[in-house]
Structure 1
Amino acid sequence: MPSVTQLGIPHYVPAPPTKADLDYADLAVIDLSKTDTVEGRAQLATQVRDAMTGQGFFYVINHGYTAPQAERIFDVADIPFAGVSDEEKRTYAGNIKATGSYQGYKLRQYWHIDGGVHDQVEHYNIHRDVTKKQHPKELRPLLPEIEAFARFNHLNVLHPILQLLALGLELPEDTFVDNHGYSAVNETYIRFMKYYPRSEDEETKTRNVWLKGHTDFGSVTILWSQPVAALQILSPDGGWRWIKHIDNALVVNLGDAMEFLSGGFYKATIHRVVQPPEDQRGYTRLGVFLFASPDDAVKLKHGIVRRCDDADAPTMEQWRRARTSAYGQTELKKKDDGRVEEEVINGVVVKHYN
């Protein structure tokens, strides 16, 4: 990370790792330092291709951020929640349904989960160009750090991953990099996200599900690993498996846009968030993400198996606005088995897994 002045802020103390015996997914571990050589990229491209056509998630290690730097960014990430008043949060809340954009706050109880229960999660979303929006006064002195962190994620993590994904398709390695420009018009952004404990009544009504199984609408999601176990993926055998915390690792999955762009070769990964194991209940769960999307003007069509006719393919802007506006706000149609609910976005069926 470029050198920036670090202000003194409170330290966020996360929950201790769980001791529960959980059924963890067996995920590939990608050593990003190997992308420095042609041979290393070729080897990693095969690993990434196999991971993304198998489990759909992988870990990244040796990404270039030190453990103290990662710890610091979680301290920064907590400021929009613990350091900002509820009144000021409302001032900077995004008009999500109207704009199709998450920029700013998504406040608690905005999404309907199930059984009349709404979410207990806040997030604050910051475009990598931090000057695009005004921010709460408590966050403004930290913007140089956040901007440097966004740049690091985009150029030092996202772009190498996009190169590996292209090589896995035997495409020129900058195929996807070229439509994920750092200065382009798109909604690639940093998200700070905080889950709060729920009541027993809420847990019962939602069967302990905090966010239903879903796919992300963008291309690549990068999650900075944190210790509260709650994230699960839908494995190829139909079982939900937990994602294990690894210190200073990243957890990577793909979204709808990459499924479109790869012609269905890479699948958008179905994942959900559930109540943590018993020894972590009562703690907040603080998350740090980069949600990446192709440039807004990119047509979401490419390659092998298409989800819609080329003429009907949405642009990235159309897709993200429609998915963002609808999420947690629309009436979903239950399928026969009750485990899957559907909505139609821009003529494409979007599934949610309960």
Structure 2
Amino acid sequence: MPSLTLPECERYIQPPATKEDLEFADLAIIDLSKAHTPEGRAELYPQLRDALRTYGFVYAINHGYSQAQRDRIFDIADVPFNVVPPEEMKTYTANIEKVGYYAGFKGRQFWKVDTENNILDQIEHYGINKDVTRRPHPQALRPFIPEIDAFVRHNHFNIVHPILRLIALSLELPEETLVEKHNFDGTGESCARLMKYYRRSEEEEEKSKNVWLKGHTDVGSVTVLWSQPVGGLQIQAPGGRWKWVRHIENALVINTGDMMGFFTGGYYKPTIHRVVQPPEDQRNYDRLGVFYFSMPDDNVRLLPYVESPVLHRVGIQRRCPDEDAPLCMTWRKGRTTTYGRSDLKKGTEHNVEEEVIEGIVVKHYN
């Protein structure tokens, strides 16, 4: 019989939540356990629809992982950064600009945060494709691959697929419409990402106005963030104000990305969010994050669902003519290879910079 003993892993000691009086976004909370029945889905999809169309973010609870399972994933998430030697990190560094995906390590000072003041990021992350066996992993991480595999599958089948069904229902489409474009065994770069934000110098904070990752939208369809206590994540609320995202223990923070915007003709707009310096009472901590970035199969074309009765009623906002709609793979590569690397141009809106990907304007928010 296989051993029931999990490989040993140093415990990640979670920092205390902030006590600062911050302007938090009033985000809705959905009970994902209700997504298992038709009646529950009928109750949930209007809640999800209204939340995503208001703020673009929603909390999900009762997602199927216990507090202990969640804590174990954060223990594992710290391994690539605390245990893997620097020389081995180099061996497993992702060639992001060549291949257009984050599989392996992205080191610090890779992205431009503030071009004018020459400020680079202080973020390390390690990306793992949904097929955890597709690429080799550092020695220290290999004992935990079965647990990471289970975690990836849980995100894909028990979190993302239910969310996709709810979105389809909100568009008055068959429940499996979006699920069929997000095959676990299909070619694509849905991935788990373990991410660590390191503290910066006072000089860097001053020059970048405390922005660690400028306002942006995610590339894929649905992003799952496992809530953690160190603040920094902000969303652009209606009216343009930046509001903080509050930590809820063992909750998920879910948002939509570019590809969902394409599919829904702007009905679900990609969520604009950024990361800033943590609140004052948390500035002695680094910020550890765990994500699942969901993307459709590479060969899916990013066309709006013109058959949706909802989109017929509200109208479709196209970012390009249908005949020019990119494949998922093309959009992913275009955005990933240039993100944080290209020299952006000032946009027509205040504090907005722009670049053009596949003939489509992509905005970055300062």
* TM value normalised by structure 2: 0.95
Report if aligned partners of 1:4, 1:144 keep a CA contact under 8 Å in 2: no
**Deviation at residue 338 of structure 1 after TM alignment:** 4.7
Structure 1 runs (4+) greater than 2 angstroms displaced = 335-338
Partners of 2:36 and 2:134 in 1: how far apart?
33
Matches within 5 A, 1:99-114: 99-114=99-114
In the other structure, the counterpart of 1:53 is 53
Partners of 1:335 and 1:261 in 2: how far apart?
25
**Deviation at residue 193 of structure 1 after TM alignment:** 0.2
Secondary structure of 1:139's counterpart equals helix
**Deviation at residue 263 of structure 1 after TM alignment:** 1.2
**1:8-61: CA deviations, max 9, x gaps?**
110011211000001000011010011122111011100111111111100000
Partners of 2:281 and 2:333 in 1: how far apart?
38
Partners of 2:5 and 2:105 in 1: how far apart?
26
In the other structure, the counterpart of 1:319 is 331
Secondary structure of 2:214's counterpart equals strand
* TM value normalised by structure 1: 0.98
1:339 aligns with 2:339: no
The size of the alignment, in residue pairs, is 352
Matches within 5 A, 1:260-275: 260-275=262-277
In the other structure, the counterpart of 1:42 is 42
Partners of 1:338 and 1:185 in 2: how far apart?
39
Gaps (5+ residues) in structure 1? none
Report if aligned partners of 1:231, 1:273 keep a CA contact under 8 Å in 2: yes
In the other structure, the counterpart of 2:309 is none
Change (3 A) 1:337 1:258: closer
Gaps (5+ residues) in structure 2? 307-315
Report if aligned partners of 1:210, 1:274 keep a CA contact under 8 Å in 2: yes
**1:192-222: CA deviations, max 9, x gaps?**
0000000000001100000000000100000
Partners of 1:5 and 1:35 in 2: how far apart?
32
Secondary structure of 1:12's counterpart equals coil
Change (3 A) 1:45 1:93: same
Matches within 5 A, 1:5-44: 5-44=5-44
1:307 aligns with 2:329: no
- Letter matched to residue 136 of structure 2: Q
Report if aligned partners of 1:297, 1:315 keep a CA contact under 8 Å in 2: yes
1:176 aligns with 2:178: yes
Quote the RMSD (CA, aligned, Å): 1.0
**1:55-74: CA deviations, max 9, x gaps?**
11000000010000000000
Percentage of pairs with the same residue: 58
In the other structure, the counterpart of 1:93 is 93
Partners of 2:27 and 2:102 in 1: how far apart?
29
**Deviation at residue 4 of structure 1 after TM alignment:** 6.5
- Letter matched to residue 72 of structure 1: R
In the other structure, the counterpart of 2:81 is 81
Report if aligned partners of 1:4, 1:145 keep a CA contact under 8 Å in 2: no
- Letter matched to residue 326 of structure 1: T
Matches within 5 A, 1:138-217: 138-217=140-219
**1:103-149: CA deviations, max 9, x gaps?**
10000000010020100000000011111111100001110000010
In the other structure, the counterpart of 1:244 is 246
Partners of 1:308 and 1:180 in 2: how far apart?
23
Change (3 A) 1:167 1:139: same
**1:137-172: CA deviations, max 9, x gaps?**
000111000001000110001100000011111111
- Structure 2 residue corresponding to 1:235, chosen from 234, 237, 242: 237
**Deviation at residue 335 of structure 1 after TM alignment:** 2.5
**Deviation at residue 101 of structure 1 after TM alignment:** 1.1
**1:289-318: CA deviations, max 9, x gaps?**
000001100000113221101111100000
